[in-house]
């Protein structure tokens, strides 16, 4: 408003009585310039609120100071928190974040990769991405993977230890006397769904439990879908004593469906959620669930991509995030088998 629109390095140079390249040095390599000149120039820069033109700078340096985040969607809470962590930390380091939602669609992901390359973005963070290939991505761009193993490709990777989480969870349930365990996955075909199913099966085996395929039911990620899937699970007389939901949102539907059958949680059937979404602590009854620090992960991921941008050949970082059980009121000790209760 009150500001002149185009103040350039040339004007700063004139004011300071030095050459433009000296001003440039003050900005980019302050150590190369004499203290007195530096301070004089810095004073003018500050006074004029001068900021280098990013186009001119980018044209020269081939750097945009922009990082892209690709997530399957914006609405899943853990992605929103992740994005928040990333954005805040990036901003601290003077980077900006562009964000794309891929819907786990390979074609769209390709388009996004192309777009990212065309924009000359410095680094990309892929969260739960399909990434069948990334030919469209310009060679050498910094990359970080979240929840997809890139270690073989020499890519920094942040993984959520879903296997460990299910292991903890199944152990917890077994300790409570459960053995008939149902699982209302989200979208069975999504990356997150596939990963959870495999972790679930592995954990079951680890604890000597048989996996009954009909106890694993798919749904999209909404509560309503969870409700419907659970209803199916509850048909017939061979019924689980506890149901794991692939997310807390799904868990709402699970509890709804259990109630609608005239059964109570946890008296008749126990339920556990996933992700500790806001609201789950205030549900009726408060939902036992699994959580991890998505926001903190976002911050560390942002640090990692910046590091990678500045040091393409640095050592690859692999970091694993563990999940913990938040014990609330939806799981109770199971002493009798289902057969005895329902037969």
Partner DNA sequence: ATGAAAGCGCTAACAA
Partner DNA sequence: TTGTTAGCGCTTTCAT
With respect to a second copy, which residue has the nearer C-beta, 79 or 166? 79
Helix spans in the chain (H): 9-16, 20-28, 35-48, 54-61, 77-92, 106-118, 162-175, 191-206, 223-233, 248-260, 294-310, 338-342
Contact 268, 258 (CB under 8 A): yes
Number of helical (H) and strand (E) elements in the chain, helices listed first? 12, 12
Of the candidate spans 148-156, 163-171, 273-281, 313-321, the one that interacts with a second copy by CB under 8 A turns out to be: 273-281
Where in 17-76 is the site for a second copy (CB under 8 A)?
A: 51, 53-59, 64, 66, 73-75
Considering only residues 137 through 176, tell me which ones interact with a second copy, judged by CB under 8 A: 137-140
Helix, strand, coil % over all residues of the chain, rounded to 5: 45, 15, 40
* β-strand pairing of 324-326 with 289-291: antiparallel
- Closer residue to DNA in complex, CB, 52/72: 52
C-alpha 335/C-alpha 343 separation (Å) is 16
Q: Is 80 in the site for a second copy (CB under 8 A)?
A: yes
Considering only residues 97, 181, 217, 269, which one is a binding residue for a second copy as defined by CB under 8 A?
97
If we measure between CA atoms, which residue out of 328, 338, 173, 175 comes closest to residue 268?
A: 338
- Binding status of residue 138 toward DNA by CB under 7 A: no
Contacts of 304 (CB under 8 A, 6+ apart): 144, 156, 158, 317, 319
Q: Which of 100, 126, 183, 215 binds a second copy (CB under 8 A)?
A: 100
Distance CA 341, CA 334 (A): 11
C-beta closer to DNA: residue 8 or 222: 8
Q: How far apart are CA 93 and CA 178, in angstroms?
A: 49
Of residues 135, 267, 313, 315, which one binds a second copy by CB under 8 A?
A: 135
Residue 282 within binding range of DNA, rule CB under 7 A: no
Instruction: Tell me the two tokens of residue 171.
Output: 């152990």
Q: Tell me if the bond preceding 57 is cis, omega within 30° of 0.
A: no
Which residue from 212, 256, 268, 337 is in contact with a second copy, where contact means CB under 8 A?
256
Alpha-carbon distance of 169 to 325, in angstroms, equals 7
Q: Is 57 in the site for DNA (CB under 7 A)?
A: yes
Please report how close the Cβ of residue 8 comes to DNA at its closest, in angstroms.
3
User: Which is closer to a second copy, CB of 47 or CB of 118?
Assistant: 118
Smaller CB separation from DNA, 61 or 151: 61
In the set 8, 96, 179, 337, which binds a second copy (CB under 8 A)?
96
The span from the CA of 242 to the CA of 224, in Å, is: 19
Site for DNA contains 53 (CB under 7 A): yes
Residues 204 and 240 sit within 8 Å (Cβ to Cβ): no
Encoded one letter per residue, x for contact with DNA by CB under 7 A and - for no contact, window 1-40 reads -----x-xxx------xxxxxxxxx-xxx--xxx-xxx--
From residue 278 to residue 307, what is the string marking binding to a second copy with x (rule CB under 8 A)?
A: xxxxxxx-x---------------------
302 vs 74, 90, 295, CA distance in Å?
18, 6, 11
Residues forming contacts to a second copy in the complex (CB under 8 A) are 1-3, 5, 51, 53-59, 64, 66, 73-75, 77, 80-81, 83-84, 87-88, 91, 96-101, 115, 117-120, 134-135, 137-140, 222-224, 226-227, 249, 252-253, 255-256, 259, 278-284, 286
Residues forming contacts to DNA in the complex (CB under 7 A) are 6, 8-10, 17-25, 27-29, 32-34, 36-38, 52-53, 55-57, 59-61
């Amino acid at each position: 408003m009150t500001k002149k629109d185009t103040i350039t390095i040339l004007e700063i140079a004139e004011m300071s009585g030095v050459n433009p390249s000296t001003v440039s040095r003050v900005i980019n390599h302050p150590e190369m310039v004499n203290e007195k000149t530096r301070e004089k120039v810095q004073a003018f820069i500050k006074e004029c609120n001068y900021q280098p033109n990013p186009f001119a700078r980018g044209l020269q340096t081939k750097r945009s100071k922009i990082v892209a985040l690709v997530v399957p969607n914006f609405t899943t809470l853990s992605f929103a928190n992740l994005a928040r962590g990333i954005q805040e930390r990036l901003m601290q380091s003077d980077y900006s974040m562009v964000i794309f939602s891929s819907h786990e669609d390979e074609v769209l992901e390709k388009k996004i990769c192309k777009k990212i390359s065309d924009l000359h973005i410095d680094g990309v963070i892929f969260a739960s991405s399909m990434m069948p290939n990334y030919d469209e991505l310009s060679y050498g761009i910094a990359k970080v993977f979240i929840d997809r193993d890139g270690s073989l490709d020499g890519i920094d990777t942040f993984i959520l230890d879903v296997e460990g989480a299910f292991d903890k969870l199944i152990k917890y349930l077994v300790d409570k006397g459960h053995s008939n365990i149902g699982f209302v996955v989200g979208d069975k075909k999504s990356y997150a769904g596939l990963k959870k199913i495999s972790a679930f099966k592995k954990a079951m085996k680890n604890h000597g439990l048989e996996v009954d395929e009909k106890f694993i039911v798919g749904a999209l990620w909404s509560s309503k879908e969870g409700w419907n899937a659970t209803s199916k699970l509850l048909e017939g007389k061979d019924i689980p004593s506890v149901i794991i939901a692939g997310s807390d949102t799904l868990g709402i539907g699970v509890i709804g469906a259990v109630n609608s059958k005239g059964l109570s949680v946890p008296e008749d059937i126990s339920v556990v959620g996933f992700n500790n979404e806001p609201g789950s602590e205030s549900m009726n009854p408060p939902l036992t669930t699994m959580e991890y620090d998505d926001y903190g992960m976002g911050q560390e991921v942002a640090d990692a991509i910046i590091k990678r941008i500045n040091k393409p050949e640095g050592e690859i970082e692999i970091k694993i995030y563990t999940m913990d059980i938040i014990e609330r009121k939806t799981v109770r000790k199971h002493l009798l088998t289902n057969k005895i209760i329902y037969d």
